[in-house]
Amino acid sequence: MSEDLNPAVVLGSFLGQPALRLRAPDGASATVLLHGGHVVSWIPAGGEEQLYLSPSANYGAGAAIRGGVPVIFPQFNERGPLPRHGLVRTRSWQATESVLRAGHAIGVLRFTDDIATRVHWPYRFELELTVSLAGKELDLELAVTNTGDKPFSFQAALHTYLRCIDPTKLQVEGLQGCDFEDNAPDATHKTGQQWGDVLTLAGPIDRVYRQVNRALTLREIGRKASIAMQGFDDVVIWNPGESGAAKIADLPDDDWQHFLCIEAARIAEPVQLAPGEEWAGMQHLRA
């Protein structure tokens, strides 16, 4: 496809699932499943896979895929009456655009409410996930529009599983001074503040950091990555550790050693959206 032609949906497959495959002129590539609007692969130009995807992941109707970048909406985890992590990660999206522009490969997927979602959540809405990549960078933008006649509030997240060599030897920088809520099973204090600029992992971690207004840096031997957010005020840092992984059916027992979730999120203060209004949040990743 040449630059700036009319958008065309370029569909392929991934493990038997319909997928939008994006490839920039410099070789950077990404794969997005229509199921869940779920990014399952990101390979920067000249690099290697940056996302973790469980080899035991489930696919198909109703499945929540373990790994990649699940889209969480309109509820985070079990913080409300809806199914865990909301309504859209287990349903089919529509690929609406795939184009090369200014050296970037860009894909857009859309999800619109239907009778099945309104059984759980009686609101009309539309989501668009825009995936843009080139070189060493990947941008993910989630836009939410209230298409109904009633206001609603929601939580949202891009639940990004970043591949790593050993989470116990990596460092996350940029969280200094941020308050957090600690949801790890063995947490002695449910709230706290990040005093040092370097976060390291000594075991399972499940924290929601609030009001994170700066980019984060992930460092490990031979690798450095940056994560920046816009519109998402919170960051979730999650790894189940050895004990937690053993309880997760779609995660091999030892695979907790191969990823760290750094999630752009809006949790502590849900977004309030009036009829006709739109909200957008972005996660920018650089390998």
Share of the chain above pLDDT 70, in %: 96
pLDDT band at 186 (very low <50, low <70, confident <90, very high): confident
DSSP letter at 274 equals -
* 98 token code pair: 């795939």
Q: What is the mean pLDDT of the chain?
A: 94
- Residue 263 phi/psi, 5-degree rounding, is -110, 125
For residue 144, is pLDDT > 90? yes
> Which residues lie below 8 Å from residue 143, measured CB to CB, with a gap of 6+?
127, 128, 129, 130, 278, 279, 280
For residue 96, the model assigns a pLDDT of 93
- Domain spans, the chain: 11-286
For residue 9, the model assigns a pLDDT of 44
CATH of 11-286, one of 3.40.1390.10, 3.30.1280.10, 3.40.640.10, 2.70.98.10: 2.70.98.10
For residue 196, is pLDDT > 80? yes
For residue 7, the model assigns a pLDDT of 41
Q: How many CB atoms lie within 10 A of CB 255?
A: 17
The angle formed by the CA atoms of residues 31, 28 and 35, to the nearest 5 degrees, is 10
* 274 token code pair: 């009036």
Cis peptide before 74 (omega within 30 of 0): yes
For residue 10, the model assigns a pLDDT of 63
User: Do residues 205 and 245 make contact, with C-beta atoms less than 8 angstroms apart?
Assistant: no
List the one residue out of 131, 156, 99, 105 whose CA is nearest residue 32: 131
For residue 222, the model assigns a pLDDT of 85
For residue 190, the model assigns a pLDDT of 85
State the Cα–Cα distance between residues 75 and 9, nearest whole angstrom. 30
Beta-strand pair 161-163/191-193: unpaired
